[in-house]
Amino acid sequence: MRLVVLVSGSGTNLQAIINAEAAGELAGDGWSVEIAAVGSNVPDCGGIQRAQKVGILTFAVPLERGATPNRRAAWNLQLAAAARTHRPDLLLISGFNRILSAEFLTAVGVPVINHHPSLLPSFPGNHGVRDALAHGVKVTGCTVHQVDPGVDTGPILAQAAVEVRADDDVSSLHERIKVQERRLLVETLAGIGAGTVALSG
């Protein structure tokens, strides 16, 4: 299974996948998951640098600040076309800081998955950790889900719970969530590759 990963930041989740692939955790009897390419809207971000360091192909499709709706629509199609050149079977959004349109999902032509720092459907959107703390929940966590045109509304593939401690702030809670998120992401990719985790479409 050829995986294309979209990143915008430091790429710590990407690094977990790179490490898992190198350790043989993303291959089994008759199946394997390989990172075919890493793409970004930020050409020099840490995720791109991590990929280049280990010889993974990279690509960048920047989007300028304040882009018009027409420009954003064109950018979505350009990004989908760039991803398609690497012949993916699956696309992962991992710390990508731009919302992708329904037209992107159609144009890229393969299932798209994402990870989110809450137990969806609770606390969708950009502030899942902050919102969980604000609501006073005792347990939150992380979710790997398939992407649909809504905001964090696609089919849930896997979840892991994380206890909220009395002294937690957003930073400390998010760090513990990230540990589980990396593990869950690798396990879910392995499950998709092995056929034990089913995708829609």
Q: Which residue has the higher pLDDT, 157 or 97?
A: 157
41-97: per-residue pLDDT in tens? 999 999 999 999 999 999 999 998 889 999 999 999 999 999 999 999 999 999 999
Eight-class DSSP state of 117: S
Phi–psi pair at 124, nearest 5 degrees: -75, 175
158-195: per-residue pLDDT in tens? 999 999 999 999 999 999 999 999 999 999 999 999 99
Question: Is the distance from CB of 13 to CB of 49 less than 8 angstroms?
Answer: no
pLDDT over 80 at 201, yes or no: no
Eight-class DSSP state of 192: H
19-32: per-residue pLDDT in tens? 999 999 999 999 99
pTM of the model: 0.95
**Helix, strand, coil abundance in the chain, percent, nearest 5:** 35, 25, 40
116 as an active site residue: the answer is yes
83-96: per-residue pLDDT in tens? 999 999 999 999 99
Those residues with Cβ within 8 angstroms of residue 70's Cβ, 6 or more apart along the chain or in another chain: none
Question: Is the distance from CB of 173 to CB of 140 less than 8 angstroms?
Answer: yes
Which three-class secondary structure state does DSSP give residue 99? coil
pLDDT at 200: 86
What's the CA gap between 35 and 120, in Å, rounded? 26
pLDDT at 109: 96
pLDDT over 90 at 155, yes or no: yes
pLDDT at 80: 98
- Which is catalytic among the residues 86, 115, 116, 145? 116
